[in-house]
Structure 1
Amino acid sequence: MGFRYKEAVEICSRKRGILDSYYPATVLAAVGKNRYIVEYQTRYSDDKTRLLTAVVDGSEIRPSPPSIPVSNFAESDLVDAYLNGAWWTGRIARKVDPNYYVRLDCDGTEAHCAFYRVRLHLEWEGGEWLRPPANRLKMDGGEAKPNDRPS
């Protein structure tokens, strides 16, 4: 998939310690056939004076996922929790109204998250957003089905 200049994307690094995390970024330029210069929106240069820019392989980039309203997550729902400037994949461990504790896939720790910093986890496959089969959530009065495509 080709990404355009100024397109909002997420970077999924394959590095140990930040696996299962998605950092918001903006595409600045294409480099060759499948590499891009991106500017992270939440990561900074070593001297902390400017946003970090990096050359990233196309396999580590995905578009920003669509926003899907969810009225309530249940225990064990697969979600992304926004922590330390990135979206981290995990499962709802428990709800403490109106917020959640999310067990992170990367290390099994539980993180407290405000309800507005938790989103439905979606997979980017073959140029489409798919809901993982484990997610069956009530959304806008309807029920999400396995592998439904978000509208």
Structure 2
Amino acid sequence: MAFNINDWVEICRKEEGSSCVYYSAALLAAVGRTRYLVRYETRLIPDGTRLLTEVVGADEVRPWPPDSSYFDFVVSHRIDAFVDKAWRVGTVTKRVDPNYYVKLDCNGNEAHCPFFKVRRHLEWQNGTWLSPATQSQGDSSAAPGDKPGN
């Protein structure tokens, strides 16, 4: 997929295990045909004085997911939880209205998340957003949306 300069995108970083952690970033430039220069929204350089800018492979970049607004998640739904400045894939283990407890795939920890820090988990495959098969609510595909203010 071709991106435009200043598009908001997500960068998939593999962490412990095989699940991705998604960091939001602004796309600054194309570097050849298979890489992009991005500036992260929440990751800082080691001394903490400014936002991290780096070159990433095109296979690590995806568009910002469509806005799912509030979604009525139940136990066992696959979701993304905004924990430690990134979107982390996990499973709802408990619901305490309006919040959720989520078991994170990346480390197995359970995180308490307010409803506005969770979103439905979508996979970007072949230019289409796909919902996990276990999540029957909502449409299985969606069009890209604008970057929400998280």
Structure 2 CA distance for partners of 1:34 and 1:64, relative to 1, 3 Å:
same
Instruction: Give deviations 1:66-116, integer Å, cap 9, x for gaps.
Output: 011344110000000001110000000001121100001112110000110
> Contact 1:14–1:60 (CA<8 Å) still a contact in 2?
no
For residues 118 and 112 of structure 1, what CA distance do their matches in structure 2 show? 10
For residues 102 and 74 of structure 2, what CA distance do their matches in structure 1 show? 11
Query: Is the aligned partner of 1:64 residue 2:64?
Result: yes
Q: Give % identity.
A: 47
Partner SS for 2:136: coil
One-letter amino acid matched to 2:32: G
Task: Tell me which residue corresponds to 1:150.
Answer: 142
> Contact 2:70–2:116 (CA<8 Å) still a contact in 1?
no
Structure 2 CA distance for partners of 1:9 and 1:91, relative to 1, 3 Å:
same
One-letter amino acid matched to 2:99: N
Unaligned runs of 5+ in 2: 144-150
Structure 2 CA distance for partners of 1:18 and 1:37, relative to 1, 3 Å:
farther
| TM-score in terms of structure 2 length | 0.89
Task: Tell me which residue corresponds to 2:27.
Answer: 27
Task: Tell me which residue corresponds to 2:6.
Answer: 6
Partner SS for 2:59: helix
**Which shows bigger deviation, 15-24 or 26-35?**
15-24
> Contact 1:37–1:55 (CA<8 Å) still a contact in 2?
yes
For this pair of structures, how many residues does the alignment match? 143
One-letter amino acid matched to 2:85: G
One-letter amino acid matched to 1:136: S
**Which shows bigger deviation, 92-101 or 16-25?**
16-25
Report which structure shows greater RCO (CA 8 Å, sep ≥6).
2
For residues 19 and 76 of structure 1, what CA distance do their matches in structure 2 show? 17
Partner SS for 1:13: strand
One-letter amino acid matched to 1:46: P
Unaligned runs of 5+ in 1: 138-143
Aligned-residue CA RMSD in angstroms?
A: 1.6
For residues 15 and 132 of structure 2, what CA distance do their matches in structure 1 show? 23
